[in-house]
Chains A and B, each alone.
Chain A
């Protein structure tokens, strides 16, 4: 989780990613951020997020995104 928070904080240092859960609804993460995240997660966690998982629910909070990474790792 700490590694994911580090990636997110590098993108938006002003956001508290531990507590924010409306990252998409509040337009904090835009489509450029999302694809950068997908690539970075693939690089750091060796997990490929398929396009069908690129939905607001999975990117609205760091916790949801981390849960997705864990799920994909298990598959």
Chain B
């Protein structure tokens, strides 16, 4: 059951009626049943995977918590113990807590690794060793990367001292909460628990603002993203024909399509949660206004970025081996470069993992590493930029800011194009064709005809993109917020958007508008 299906519309309508009427005293319980019902539509066997993750995480978190309590009681009971004895007892308890944490992490990441990466390993083994192992073709449970990361974040937080959730069903809802199950945001238990488990009274204003956000998300998805995807599919289907200048358009179109698709999906998620009275974290902050790669990653898929930073980048960087490496590197390479090298190693590990998280394909891994390389090069060029700014004093000029935004947009879009051609060698061949076979004449002769949509649709999509970018700019600048608009204006906005979707949206028989790009991760 996808967000864009009729079934989902019926499901959400029934759920909302029950949520605010007969089940108003059992709202989170209803959401849990609803979430499992929603998830069952993706395949009944998938329920087993998510249930195993919930049970194992709950059990491990209870054990960690129990050990913490035991330690506290022991210290209170034996207050005359020496500092050393207390320290030794604490170390023993900590060791056992660490064991439960390791069990939970290994067990759940192993499930993710087996279902997601087995065929990737088999394919590469066959290629390297010239063997013929058959792929296993595991059916990837929908949203497994998202819910695994969310629950693993929870268990790490519990290990670090956060309160655990004694009620397994509440942890079940946190893991399976249906609006964010398939493409995030990746929430933290501490952020979500209060809003998720408290009782919500119906508020017309909050409900209407949520609805506006949902409709806005559908506008982005059905009017912009799905129409752009028709063009992109045509550009990629016959790559030999669409080289040179067409590659530049492919880069541009995919950047816009992915933005519309992913942010549209998140708008729907946040909107549905808001209709239920629940506040889910924002996942974007005008990414196309970023002035550097690092800045871009603070604005795009924010919850994934912070997850990797808090649970991978910092632990690796602060680990004992890395600190030893830091000392060694400083001694061998000198104060300046020696300090930076360990950070760059952590950065490359982080981006390798980020690429791998996106999918079991080389182009995702190369995409991740390319991001890491760009960030490392940017860091190395910082002194040069500083010298340039000092010499020419352009740092606060509007045109220079515009240049930085333009440069970052194209750099990130170029790297992301690996996702479109889905083959590393082929993608680089296409980049190369821009330099060797620009084909301007071919473009002047053929233009955008034969790419699946007509010129009227190009005009529609151009206007829609303009609207999307303008609203996006003001929305995140807090000048326009769906929640703060007056109800009458919001009503007009919803009506206009619904009409726009009905008239200009890509839907109906023959169109596969149900899949969001990020569903595959």
Residues of A that sit less than 8 Å from B by CB: 30-32, 34-36, 38-40, 42-43, 48-52, 54
Task: Please indicate the chain A residues that have their CB under 8 angstroms from the CB of B347 in the complex.
Answer: 32
Q: In the complex, what distance in Å separates the CA atom of A50 from the CA atom of B315?
A: 8
A35 touches B294 (CB 8 A): no
B252 CB → nearest A CB, Å:
29
| Stretch among B169-177, B318-326, B353-361 lining the A interface | B318-326
Q: Which residues on the B side are within 8 Å of A51 (C-beta)?
A: 160, 310, 314-315, 318
Q: Quick check: B314 and A34 within 8 Å, CB to CB?
A: yes
CA distance A48 to B321 in the complex (A): 12
| Minimum CB–CB distance for A23 against chain B, Å | 16
Interface SS majority for chain B = helix
Interface centre among A32, A38, A40 (most CB of B within 10 A): A32
Q: Which of B338-346, B362-370, B472-480 contacts A (4 or more CB under 8 A)?
A: B338-346
B320 to chain A, nearest CB (A): 7
Pair A48/B318 contact, Cβ less than 8 Å: yes
Q: Are B339 and A52 in contact (CB under 8 A)?
A: no
| B 377-421 to A, binary, CB cutoff 8 A, 1 in contact else 0 | 001000000000000000000000000000000000000000000
**Contact mask B473-493 → A, CB, 8 Å, 1/0?**
000000000000000000000
Given contacts A51-B314, A52-B160, contact A31 B309 (CB under 8 A): yes
Name the CB-closest residue of B to A75.
B87
Given A30-B294, A43-B327, are A36 and B339 also a contact pair (CB < 8 Å)?
Answer: yes
Please pick, from B309, B310, B318, B330, the residue contacting A38 in the complex, using a CB distance under 8 A: B318
Per the bound structure, the CA–CA distance linking A51 and B320 in Å amounts to 11
Q: A31-B309, A43-B330, A54-B314 are in contact. Are A48 and B320 (CB under 8 A)?
A: yes
- Among A36, A43, A48, A50, the residue within 8 A (CB) of B343 is A36
Q: Which one of A30, A35, A52 contacts B317 once the chains associate, using CB atoms below 8 Å?
A: A35
| A39 and B160 form a contact (CB under 8 A) | no
- Contact, CB under 8 Å: A40 / B161: no
- Are A39 and B342 also in contact (CB < 8 A) when A31-B309, A32-B379 are? yes
Instruction: State whether A39 touches B339 (Cβ < 8 A).
Output: yes
Q: Is the beta-carbon distance between B326 and A39 smaller than 8 angstroms?
A: yes
Given A32-B343, A35-B346, A52-B160; A43-B326 close (CB under 8 Å): yes
Contacts of B254 in A (CB 8 A): none
The CA-CA distance from A31 to B340 in the complex, in Å, is 13
* In the bound complex, CA of A32 to CA of B343 (Å): 7
Min CB distance B135 to A, Å, is 37
> What residues on B are CB-neighbors of A48 within 8 Å?
318, 320, 323
- Smallest CB gap from B90: residue in A: A75
B326 engages A49 (CB within 8 Å):
no
The answer to whether B19 has its CB under 8 Å from any CB of chain A is: no
Nearest to B325 among chain A residues (CB) is A39
- Bound Cα distance from A50 to B346, whole angstroms: 16
A32 surroundings in chain B (CB, below 8 A): 343, 347, 379
B323 touches A39 (CB 8 A): yes
User: How long is the Cα–Cα vector from A34 to B340 in the complex, in angstroms?
Assistant: 12
- Asked if B313 lies at the interface with its beta carbon under 8 angstroms from chain A, I say yes
Chain B nearest CB, measured from A36 CB (Å): 6
Q: List B contacts of A34 (CB < 8 A).
A: 314
- Cα distance A7–B318 in the bound complex, in angstroms: 17
CA distance A50 to B148 in the complex (A): 24
**A31 contacts B313, C-beta separation under 8 Å:** yes
The answer to whether B320 and A39 have CB atoms under 8 Å apart is no
> What is the bound-complex CA distance between A65 and B388, given in angstroms?
33
Q: Are A50 and B330 in contact (CB under 8 A)?
A: no
Give the CA-CA distance A38 to B315 in the complex, in Å: 11
Known: A35-B313, A52-B160. 19 other contacts (CB 8 A): A31-B314, A32-B343, A34-B314, A35-B346, A36-B339, A36-B340, A38-B314, A38-B317, A38-B318, A39-B322, A39-B323, A40-B339, A43-B330, A51-B160, A51-B310, A51-B314, A51-B315, A51-B318, A54-B314
| CB nearest neighbor in B for A43 | B327
CB interface residues, B 278-309, toward A, < 8 Å: 294, 309
- When distances are taken between beta carbons in the complex, the residues of chain A under 8 Å from B294 are 30
Would A42 and B326 count as touching, CB distance under 8 A?
yes
Q: CB distance B379 to A54 under 8 Å?
A: no
Nearest Cβ distance between residue A46 and chain B, in whole angstroms? 11
CA distance A52 to B64 in the complex (A): 15
Smallest Cβ-Cβ distance to A55: which chain B residue: B310
| Most B-side CB within 10 Å, residue of A31, A36, A48, A50 | A31
Query: Considering the complex of A and B, which 4 residue pairs feature the smallest CB-CB distances, nearest first?
Result: A35-B317, A52-B160, A39-B326, A51-B315
Distance in angstroms from B189 CB to nearest chain A CB is 15
Closest to A54 in B: B314
**Chain A residue with Cβ nearest B319:** A51
Q: Which residues of A contact B323 (CB under 8 A)?
A: 38-39, 42-43, 48
In angstroms, Cα B317 to Cα A31, docked, is 10
Question: Complex formed: what's the CA distance from A30 to B315 in Å?
Answer: 16
Give me 13 A-to-B residue pairs in the complex whose CB atoms sit less than 8 angstroms apart, sorted by A's number. A31-B309, A31-B313, A32-B343, A35-B313, A35-B318, A36-B339, A38-B314, A39-B343, A40-B339, A48-B318, A51-B310, A51-B315, A54-B318
Assembled-state Cα–Cα distance A51/B311 (Å): 8
Residues of the B chain whose Cβ atoms lie less than 8 Å from the Cβ of A52: 160-161
Within 8 Å CB of A36, what residues of B? Answer: 339-340, 343
Residues of A within 8 A of B343 (CB): 32, 35-36, 39
